[in-house]
Structure 1
Amino acid sequence: MRNGSSDEATKADQASLWRRFKGNFQMRPPEDDEPQSWWIASTAIPLVAAAAGPLANVMSIVALVMPWRSRIISRSTGPAGNWVQEGYDDPHWSTGMNAASLVCGVVGNIFLLLNFTQAVRYIIALPVTIILWFLAPAILCAATASLHIYAPPVGPDDVYSQAYWSAVIAAALYFLLGVLLMINMLGYFLGRYPQHFSLTDDQRTLILQMTALVAWLLIGAAIFQRVLGISFADALYFCDITVLTLGFGDVTAQTATGKGLIWPYAVIGVIMLGLVVSSIHRFAREVHYDNVVRKHIESKRQWTFDRTITSKEGDSAGTTGPAISALARRESQIAYHPHHKHQPIRSAIDTLATGGRPKVIVMREEKDRFDAMRAIQYETMRFRRWNDLVISVIVFGIVWSCGAVVFWLLEHDWSYFDALYFCFVCLLTIGYGDYTPQSNAGRPFFVFWSLVAIPTMTMLISQMSDTVVASFNHGTKKVAEVFILPEAGTYRGFIARIPFLRSALRRHQEKKRVERGFPIGADTPDEAGSGDAERNKDPILSRSRRNSARNHPQRTIEELAQQPNPSPFELAQQLAFAIRRVTEDVCSGQRKRYSYEEWVEFTRLIQFTNPRSASNPSAGPSQSGGDENTIALEEDEYGVLNWDWIGESSPMLAHQSEPEWVLDRLCESLVRYVSTQEQARKERLKAASVDEEMTLAKERDLGIEES
């Protein structure tokens, strides 16, 4: 009895342990709408595996088509740019194991591609790929270790060939990629993302482009092996330095056939490489923006939002102290003080549309929120630029220094400084050719390192266009505006910032006007121009935007708040002009940022055809849709109607530029206007038909009474 009870207790403990173990795993279905985390594991790791998998297959192919041992025939430089060598046959068991490893690696890569295309289920394809990519390096490690133990190269002139070291590199790649895919599967078991690779079409295109580039290198190696009379590994090295535009000059085509084949091969290869680099650049920007920059924006926005207390909360608490900003409190004191001579007169519509408070005060509060979000935008822009620069410098340093360490160890006659010099020349694709890899281990590693490092460095250098290059262009433009081709008003604007120079300039202008016989007044052309410059001096608007704003009057908040409600016809006319103006901003190609006053005008045009709006349509974002001061996102068949400046639905958080976003909303408003006009026309026709029927019925009733 005692043994039976102990067995039952053991089984219960095991069942409890299994339930706790199983509870830690929350596998999700293939598709769901829940948020995803572990973005490196869900996005970057699959893409790295799919891009580096074909490269591991290439190393395996080199290891299979060539002997692993070679004999040095001459230590003079041969046609391949290194010592003349001749390989001799390997044991049959070594060749068989090498072939089995290649089959495992290729089949694992095929299952990974089928997983990307969703031809095979994730939960089936990914374990198969992981198993095969762990089996392939195990076989290669067993083959290389066995060869080293039982049949190593003997004699001073016998060495391991490039194929042997290619097998070592392939084994390391397979193992590393298998570990990365295991991390991806761990995230799936923990419920961090659904059971599929969340890649976009551009990212899948990158996989195909990388596969095509590797296949092009293999095709070129097979061709130039025969044309140049060199080994397959040396031909692959020649194709690599050709496509990467390095051109060391240690391996060159001596025959007319070889020179003629280089023309089409190099052109197609460089185009393929450019496509790969462009796709990597686009992928890196998307991933960095979606997972780093947007999280930074969201954290800043949430921090600001948590510290923003709306006026509605203040009203509900029975106080207006902490609920209204300092600027709004000041405006409210001005608006309601009974003895203030500039006390504005508010209509009943203004009071009802803004929850009992004057419209200008609510718009001032909205502008505070708008300015807070605009400040977050500028801070995020600086964060993104410097973050890109720091990442570029760190990655460049890692690839540069680590690659130099490996070449220093493999190339015995190089110092570490020589290796650093060689890697730097390669990373910038200069390729002097004074230092080139000569050893059998150095060349296969160079093929792998260059295909990974040089496209990455090209992408990272292009990332610096937002920091170093942009700052250099801005500085040169400023110098050109001041010293070479100064624009009108450049010097006057500089002088206007210095008080005593501004006074001296004004006295000089007044003196000249008196000499010419003109009166002195505040409306002189020069002063009017400077006044316009002061009014248009807005850090948000660019110079091109200020020039285009001359054709459109810029109103202040007070003018917008006191502006009467236009008729539907006037609003439709303003909508047409606004669409044309915003379209010009979109077509200009420049990233425009509108002021709050412009946004108020656009908002009125966006919301004036809201069929559910019961408030003043000419108000700002917080004056439409009831007495709510902070309005959540509202969508229907007509599109976005309301938003909050520092909320999750803010237009400043959109992937589009501000002119593109406004243009979409204005077009939606035009669709609403046409729809409401059509509905009104149908109602008028229906009412007219009802009136006609009633008239006919009355006439019939009168006829009956007369008869």
Structure 2
Amino acid sequence: MAGSLGPVSNLFSIVALAEPWKVVLQDGQILYFYEDSAWTLALNAVSLVLGVLANVSLLANFAGRVKYNLSQAISIGSFYVASVLLLAIIGAEYRTYLSMVGQGDDVQFSQGYWSAVITAVLYFLCGFVLTVNEIGHLRGYYPASFILTSSQRSLMIQILCIIVWLAGGGGVFARLQSYSYGDAVYYCDVTILTIGLGDLHPTRDLSRAIVLPYGLIGVLVLGLVVSNIGNLVISSSRERLALSRVERLRVRQLKRCDSDVTGRTNEDSFNLMREIHHSAKRIELWTLLAVRVVFFCIFWLVGALVFSRLEGWTYFDSVYFCSLCLLTIGYGDFVPTSPGSKSFFVLWSLMAVPLVTILISSLCETIIGSVVHLTNKLGDLTLKNISVPSTSDVSLVILRKMTNDLESRARSRPPPVLGTRTRILNDIDNDNNEVDKALLLINAIQGILVDLHAHRNKKYSYEEWNKLAHALDTQFDWLGADSPIRFPVDEPALLLRLYWNSLKEHLRNRRIT
């Protein structure tokens, strides 16, 4: 969270420093700014430097370039101090604003001021989550390092790229279009998110020429962020939650079966373990969908409430506006006009992208996935006579053809002249039972290699697992703690390793020294 929100807070901090905090507006257009005092600019600049320092220290911690304790001290202290400095000058500027309003001046807070408010909140949030992590480390819950996956590292770099792209684009279009820096960042945000509200648009040929590659590159980088967020959310906590749920269901079923006087067969235990996995997956998918729908609705409706307050719209109009923005339609009949709503829109829209992505991924795995499965079944029933092989079927046919060609080519070669050692091996191979077992293992490995290529997610039947148990001269307790299907695993890879080890052990026992 801190690694993702830190660069976003730096973007708003740049807006707070680049744009004066008090402005005079007429019909939503800027007439002129009131210049900030020297001490306001100085403290604002110090806050930005501390915020950047906190993020650099945090990234260095993630990369292992700085010791954990030192980096944590720098990041947490810098985030808190930067937040306190901004809160101090926000309070002072608010008192100045009240004094000017009391004197009859027509003055409003600009996007610079509201960006400072957002920055102070984000800085404090980043410092808070790092403090929670540090407390967990001191209590022994977390190690003295951040162990990040490749998706997490990539996501932070991609978010940093988006923020740099927005900040740099804001500087370019502020100069070309004579926008304020806050308006320019708002314009770049609307462009990259493909909302296109139309309240700000390029009016010069040079601006139109620049916005085409700018928007294209921004959309591509945003697509990478969206894809990475989806993968990160799917893989971050799902695996651990799924394992925990499967284990609870397994223990519950094991106690129930132990108390059942009728007993159960080995195949019943296998089928029951399979059903536990299916039940756990269904519960997980629908629970995650419900949680994400609730969070999405809260985000959507609370955002509409904020826009209603800031813009003076009815609540229905605000919900309508948020819906169009979430769907990236952007008719332009409702657009944010006040500085506060524009600043909030930038933050809200950047948060909307991951939330919509997460919701869509859940819908694809549940409702949409069920509809697709149903249509595929109907298609198989009605169009089965004219269907063509799928990609996996074609790959399977090619793999089998290549295997047969190689085997026939090997059989057509003349047998090599073998020495005494070969004759000894031939004498040993006369033991038909040993040969049959070796052939059984080889044939099983050959079939699993095909599954690894064309059916990677295959779940093997009870008979196939029983054949493995026979080859290993063992027996599995399918509901027990040593069950090979106790947790979700890549079964083709697992069976391949077990068969391969069994073949090596068999050949090692038959080796002639």
What's the counterpart of residue 164 of structure 1? 113
> Which deviations, in whole Å up to 9, do the C-alpha atoms of 1:613-656 show, x marking residues without a partner?
xxxx3xx524xxxxxxxxxxxxxxxxxxxxx4234443324554
Q: Which residue of 1 aligns with 2:184?
A: 235
Equivalent in the alignment of 2:88 = 142
Please say if 1:126 is aligned against 2:126: no
From 58, 63, 78, the counterpart of 1:117: 63
Deviates further, 369-378 or 651-660: 651-660
Quick one: which amino acid aligns to residue 657 of structure 1? D
Residue 468 of structure 1 corresponds to which residue in structure 2?
367
Q: 1:205/1:84 Cα in 2 relative to 1: closer, same or farther (>3 Å)?
A: same
Alignment of 1:70 with 2:7, yes or no, is no
Letter in 2 for 1:288: S
Q: TM-score, normalised by structure 2?
A: 0.85
1:454 corresponds in structure 2 to 353
1:416 Cα deviation after fit = 0.9
Could you give the per-residue CA deviations for residues 61-97 of structure 1, whole angstroms, max 9, x where no partner exists?
100011111122x42xxxxxx4233223111111111
- Name the SS of the counterpart of 1:170 in structure 2: helix
- Report the CA distance between 1:201 and its aligned residue: 2.6
Q: Which residue of 2 aligns with 1:529?
A: none
Q: Which residue of 15, 19, 40 maps to 1:94? A: 40
Match for 2:490 among 652, 657, 661? 657
Contact 2:3–2:156 (Cα < 8 Å) also in 1: yes
**Aligned equivalents of 1:568, 1:451: Cα separation in 2:** 65
Judging by fraction of residues, say which structure has more helix.
Answer: 2
Candidates 429, 436, 445, aligned match of 1:579: 445
Whole-angstrom distance in 2 between the partners of 1:326 and 1:160: 75
2:433 aligned residue: 567
- Do the aligned partners of residues 391 and 323 (structure 1) sit closer, same or farther apart at CA in structure 2, a change above 3 Å counting? closer
How many residue pairs align between the two structures?
Answer: 470
Q: For residue 59 of structure 1, what is the aligned residue in structure 2?
A: 12
2:403 maps to which residue?
none
Cα deviations by residue, 1:233-262 (Å, 9 ceiling, x for unpaired)? 111111111111211222212222222212
Whichever residue aligns with residue 434 of structure 2, its letter is P
Q: Distance in 1 between matches of 2:509 and 2:262?
A: 39
Q: Deviations over 1:428-449 (max 9, x none)?
A: 2222222111110001111111
1:110-154 CA-to-partner distances (Å, cap 9, x unmatched) read 221122122222222213222221111111111011122235554
Determine which structure has greater relative contact order: mean sequence separation of CA pairs < 8 Å that are 6+ residues apart, divided by chain length.
Answer: 2
**Aligned position for 1:621:** 475
Offset of residue 579 of structure 1: 2.2
Matching residue's letter, 2:469? T
Whether the 8 Å CA contact 2:243–2:487 is kept in 1: the answer is: no
SS of the residue corresponding to residue 430 of structure 1 reads coil
| 8 Å contact from structure 1 (residues 651, 658) kept in 2 | no
- 8 Å Cα contact 2:246-2:487 kept in structure 1: no
Query: 155-164 or 650-659: which moved more?
Result: 650-659
After superposition, the C-alpha distances for 1:386-428 in whole angstroms (9 at most, x for unaligned) are 112112211211111111111111112x111111111122222
Amino acid across the alignment from 2:280: T
Aligned residue in 1 for 2:128: 179
Contact 1:388–1:464 under 8 Å retained in 2: no
**2:40 alignment partner, SS class:** helix
Q: Is the 8 A contact 1:202 1:279 kept in 2?
A: yes
Q: Does 1:400 pair with 2:400?
A: no
Q: Give the C-alpha shift of residue 380 in structure 1.
A: 1.0
The counterpart of 1:326, out of the listed 241, 248, 263, is 263
Q: Is the 8 A contact 1:367 1:596 kept in 2?
A: yes
| In structure 1, distance between residues paired with 2:144 and 2:31 | 50
Alignment partner for residue 282 of structure 2, among 382, 391, 395? 382
Q: Tell me the residue number matched to 1:668.
A: 501
Determine helix, strand or coil for the equivalent of 2:237.
helix
Change (3 A) 1:661 1:160: same
Q: What CA distance in whole angstroms lies between the structure 1 residues aligned with 2:207 and 2:502? A: 64
**In 2, distance between residues paired with 1:174 and 1:85?**
31
CA distance in 2, matches of 1:68, 1:375: 62
Q: Which amino acid aligns with 2:56?
A: I
Aligned to 1:591, the other structure's residue is in SS state coil
- Where does 1:319-398 land on structure 2 (aligned, <5 Å)? 326-327=263-264, 365-398=265-298
Are residues 465 and 653 of structure 1, via their aligned partners in 2, closer, same or farther at CA, if it must alter by over 3 Å?
farther
Q: Which of 187, 197, 206 is matched with 1:248 structurally?
A: 197
Letter in structure 2 aligned against 1:470: G
- What is the distance in 1 between the residues matched to 2:149 and 2:314? 45
Match of 1:621, SS? coil
Flag the 1:186–1:276 CA change in 2: closer, same or farther, 3 A: same
Give the CA RMSD over aligned residues. 2.5
Change in Cα spacing, 1:224 to 1:470, as seen in structure 2 (3 Å) is same
1:305 shift after superposition:
3.4
Pairwise mapping of residues 243-642 of structure 1 onto structure 2 (< 5 A)?
243-309=192-258, 326-327=263-264, 365-412=265-312, 414-482=313-381, 484-486=382-384, 567-589=433-455, 591-605=457-471, 607=472, 617=473, 620-622=474-476
Deviation at residue 263 of structure 1 after TM alignment: 2.2
1:188 maps to a residue whose letter is H
1:71 counterpart SS class: strand
Q: Counterpart amino acid of 1:191?
A: G
Unpaired runs of 5+ residues, structure 2, are: 387-392, 401-430
Tell me, in whole angstroms, the C-alpha distance in 2 between the residues paired with 1:589 and 1:244. Answer: 38
* Rounded Cα–Cα distance in structure 2 between residues aligned with 1:156 and 1:648: 76
SS class of match (1:191): coil
Deviates more, 1:196-205 or 1:208-217: 196-205
Q: What corresponds to 1:638 in structure 2?
A: none
1:436 maps to amino acid: V
Structure 1 alignment gaps of length 5 or more: 1-47, 76-81, 310-321, 328-364, 489-543, 552-564, 608-616, 623-643, 683-707
Letter in 1 for 2:246: I
CA contact (8 A) 1:62 1:163 kept: yes
For 1:268 and 1:381, the matched residues in 2 are separated by: 38
Question: TM-score scaled by structure 1?
Answer: 0.63
Report if the CA contact (8 A) 1:206-1:276 is conserved: yes
In structure 2, the CA distance between the partners of 1:130 and 1:486, relative to structure 1 (3 Å rule), is same
Aligned equivalents of 2:484 and 2:385: distance in 1?
34
SS in 2 for 1:429: coil
User: Which of these two proteins has the greater Rg computed from alpha carbons?
Assistant: 1
Identity rate, percent = 36
Residues 665 and 256 from structure 1, CA distance in 2 versus in 1: closer, same or farther, beyond 3 angstroms?
farther
Instruction: Note closer, same or farther for the CA distance 1:432–1:323 as it changes in structure 2 (3 Å cut).
Output: closer
Secondary structure of 2:33's aligned partner: strand
Task: Give the secondary-structure state (helix, strand or coil) at the position aligned to 2:200.
Answer: coil
Residue identity opposite 2:175 in structure 1: R
- Partners of 2:31 and 2:179 in 1: CA distance: 10
Preserved CA contact (<8 Å) 1:217 1:239: yes
The C-alpha deviation readout for 1:348-368, integer Å capped at 9, x for no partner, is xxxxxxxxxxxxxxxxx3223
**C-alpha spacing 1:672/1:426, structure 2 compared with 1 (3 Å):** farther
Gap change, CA 1:666 and 1:229, over 3 Å in 2: farther
CA contact (8 A) 1:427 1:457 kept: yes
